Amino acid sequence: MNLRKSLTIILVGSLYLMSFSAYAELSIQITQGSDNPIPIAVVPFSWQGNGVLSEDISQIVMNDLEQVGEFSPLSRSNMLSMPSEEQEVFYRDWRILAQDYLLVGKIDRTSGSQLVQVQYEFFDINREIKLAGEVLTGSVTQLRDIAHEISNVVFEQVTGTRGAFTSEILYVVADYVNPERTNFRLEKADYDGQRAQILLESVEPIMSPSWSPTGRDVAYVSFETDLPRIYIQNIATGERRQITNYPNLNSSPEFSPDGTKLAMVLSKDGSPDIYVQDLTTNQLTRITDHPLIDTEPSWTADSKSIVFMSERTGQPQIYQIDLGASSFEVERLTYDCFQCLNGMFLPDGVNLVHVRRETRQDPDYQIAVLNIETLRVISLTSTSLDESPSIAPNGSMIMYATKFNGRGVLDAVSIDGMVRFRLPSTQGDVREPAWSPFLN
Amino acid sequence: MTKKSIQTIKMGLMAISLFALVACSSTSDTEEGAMGEEGSSGSGSSTASSARTNAGSTSGQLTQEEIRAENALRQTVFYFDFDIAEFKPADRETLTFHARHLAANSGERIRLEGHADERGTREYNLALGERRANSILNYLIVNGASRSQIEVVSYGEEQPAQAGQSDNAYSRNRRVEVVAR
């Protein structure tokens, strides 16, 4: 038997299997795409090694690009040729198919090791130039990471914005075992819900996961002692320490972007107020002092101010407090809603993502963005139980928790409201997404 | 928490504390009367009538007041209106009995567990649950309980009594539970 021919059969067979398995585990559902997506061809990467690779890199890149909505990847079955490197590329083949961009690549195994080398090249069809290309080396278990890295390059080349495909998410799952028992899990996964890992399990509630700016630690609230207390856990080692043990409510931990402080909510002095704990000296500073509820702190990018929700004018509204001055000055940011809660700035420092209830009559809570300079409000969601917005590190999308068919799910929406995708829960109620900072 | 064991303990404590309660309530009869009138809810009047039958059939040693106290202490869940952190006026009388019971039994400890329905953000609901529990805490203290007897914890919307998005589920979830420790 002709060796080359049998190899080809194996290769074709494995490609089929690979794409099948990639579809089978694809958990994201794109619920709404962009009006005018950019056509892009992602050719299956050729594989020079033996056996079947566990991941289909080009399929992961296609999924990545499709999810964020700006792109419309060409179906493989419509491709006229399947080049794997520059010398095999004929721009005409892709112009006929009305493609703007082309990604090709090949995967080699370093003989006698578990390392693979992934070479990719990215082309602009209209200008007939190569925009990017490199060889990435990693172990066979890192194919998914390599794929997401390639997606980052493609995204940045086309949009000018840094890609967030290598970012991760934290979230809480509540599994109702029976009426007396709910299992709570803190999980971490890739931004697309893949490769989920359990960081903590408890029969008591877990709340408010928050990333440290390095992505190494997570702060959260656990009721494991029967009382809500704040913990910080190293994600890689699982090592953790209890940060607070103040009377009453201890909640809402948020690392400052410079990593030196942890904002939190304590009601040890009566009602919930905002405090900041210095993570090196452990010194605790009270930031707000009001007899009504102050909660949901979030930091501005310079670590100098905190945005928070307060009931000081009767209903929840969003305020900002400057930590630099000797006396803390409070500025009100929201006015035109019955309740505005859980505010946080986009990286631009001008657009405030928040949860909004427009009127007293309709208790619908939705995600919106307020431009604090123009005061224009854009509503991003239209369901009624939307909460816990979290911003992608590049500011392009917001992930939030909502209900679908009575179950808690995570949805994501682009900042212009054009693109939406959903991470369906496999089991239980999924809630409180926290999108990581850039991790590399 | 096992609800049954708590109830058993509670019944035991109740028997012990009833004598103390008699002494207590006799001093504040007038106040109690006023409470009964303004806070007369449907459930209050029905328990009173069923208690009357009980009183007749048993040894007859329990006074109306004692029976009301016993019934009041059996109510350990207090429901709240949407967006409201203050307990319902109809629960005032029942809570007065709880306060007196604590005052008369300084060794007894309770935990007030505040809850909210799922509407609104989780952190706000956590704070709201605490405020609901505090509204009961303050009332119990004003009526004779000691602060050290009572622990307050809020679960926010994390532990609904009933799943689902119906108004009925929501009204059951906006609550404060009195749990013996």
- pTM of this prediction? 0.84
Strand intervals (E) in A179-333: 181-190, 197-202, 206-211, 217-222, 229-234, 240-242, 250-255, 261-266, 273-278, 284-286, 294-299, 305-310, 317-322, 329-332
Specify the CATH number for the domain of residue B102: 3.30.1330.60
Mean pLDDT of B79-90: 96
Share of chain A above pLDDT 90, in %: 80
pLDDT tens profile A265-318: 999 999 999 999 999 999 999 999 999 999 999 999 999 999 999 999 999 999
Residue A20 has pLDDT above 70, yes or no: no
Q: Which of B4, B86, B122, B153 to mutate to test the interface with A (most CBs of A within 10 A)?
A: B122
Mean pLDDT value across residues B14-19:
42
Of residues B120, B126, B131, nearest to A251 (C-beta) = B126
Is the CB of residue B84 less than 8 Å away from at least one CB of chain A?
Answer: no
Averaged over A85-113, what is the pLDDT?
A: 94
Does A207 contact B122 at a Cβ distance shorter than 8 Å? yes
Q: What is the DSSP string of B125-178?
A: HHHHHHHHHHHHHHHHHHTT--GGGEEEEEEETSS-SS-SSSHHHHHHHSEEEE
The count of structural domains within chain B is 1
Residues A56-81 have pLDDT tens digits of 999 999 999 988 888 999 999 999 99
Residue B165 sits at the chain A interface (C-beta within 8 Å)? yes
- Quick check: A267 and B153 CB within 8 A? no
Distance from CA of A399 to the nearest CA of B (A): 15
pLDDT in tens, A189-246: 999 999 999 999 999 999 999 999 999 999 999 999 999 999 999 999 999 999 999 9
Cβ atoms of residues A61 and A151 within 8 Å: yes
Lowest mean pLDDT, pick from A228-232, B15-19, B143-147: B15-19
Are residues B130 and A272, on separate chains, in Cβ contact within 8 Å? yes
What's the mean pLDDT in A167-181? Answer: 93
pLDDT the model gives residue A14: 37
Q: Is the pLDDT of residue B148 over 90?
A: yes
Confidence check: pLDDT of B19 > 50: no
Is residue A307 within 8 A of residue A322, CB to CB? The reply is no
Q: Chain B partners of A316 at a C-beta cutoff of 8 Å?
A: 124
- For chain B, the residue count is 181
For the stretch A343-377, pLDDT in tens is: 999 999 999 999 999 999 999 999 999 999 999 99
Checking if the pLDDT of A33 tops 50, the result is: yes
Alpha-carbon distance values, B92 to A193, A270, B19, B45, B65 (Å): 49, 23, 22, 14, 15
- Tallying the residues shown for chain A, one arrives at 440
Given a cut of 60, whether residue B28 has pLDDT beyond it is no
pLDDT digit string (tens) for B96-136? 999 999 999 999 999 999 999 999 999 999 999 999 999 99
Q: Do A293 and B131 make contact, defined as CB atoms within 8 angstroms?
A: yes
Q: Is the pLDDT of residue B51 over 60?
A: no
Domains delineated in chain A? 3-159 (3.40.50.10070), 168-435 (2.120.10.30)
pLDDT average, residue stretch B5-21: 43
Residue A91 has pLDDT above 60, yes or no: yes
Read off φ and ψ for residue A385, nearest 5 degrees. -125, 45
**Chain B residues with CB-CB distance to A341 below 8 A:** 120-121, 124
Amino acid at A139: S
pLDDT value of position B60: 62
Predicted pLDDT at A214? 97
pLDDT in tens, A175-202: 998 888 999 999 999 999 999 999 999 9
Q: What per-residue confidence (pLDDT) applies to B12?
A: 42
Q: What's the rounded mean pLDDT across residues B124-153? A: 97
Residue A23 has pLDDT above 70, yes or no: no
- Residue A28's pLDDT is 65
Q: What is the DSSP letter of B78?
A: E
Q: Which amino acid is at A440?
A: N
With CB atoms and an 8 Å threshold, state whether A293 touches B128. Answer: yes
- pLDDT score, position A427: 80
Considering CB atoms only, which of A205, A272, A309 is closest to B158? Answer: A205
State which residue of chain A sits closest to B128, comparing Cα positions.
A293
* Count of CB pairs separated by less than 8 Å, A with B: 81
pLDDT value of position B52: 42
- CB A275 within 8 Å of CB A286: yes
- Determine whether the interchain pair A252/B123 forms a contact, defined as Cβ–Cβ distance below 8 Å: yes
For CA atoms A73, A404, A378, A353, give the dihedral sign: negative
A309·B123 Cβ contact <8 A: yes
Are A71 and A109 within 8 A, CB to CB? no
Residue A390, Cβ density class (10 Å: 0-12 exposed, 13-18 middle, ≥19 buried): buried
- What average pLDDT does range B28-57 have in this prediction? 38
The parent domain of residue B113 ranges over 3-180
User: Between chains, do B124 and A316 touch, taking CB under 8 Å as contact?
Assistant: yes
Sheet of A250-255: strands edge to edge? A250-255, A261-266, A273-278, A284-286
Q: How far is B80 from chain A (nearest CA, A)?
A: 16
* Whole-number Å distance between alpha carbons of A397 and A399: 7
Say whether A227 and B153 touch across the interface (CB within 8 A).
yes
Q: How far is A409 from chain B (nearest CA, A)?
A: 14
The type of residue at B82 is F
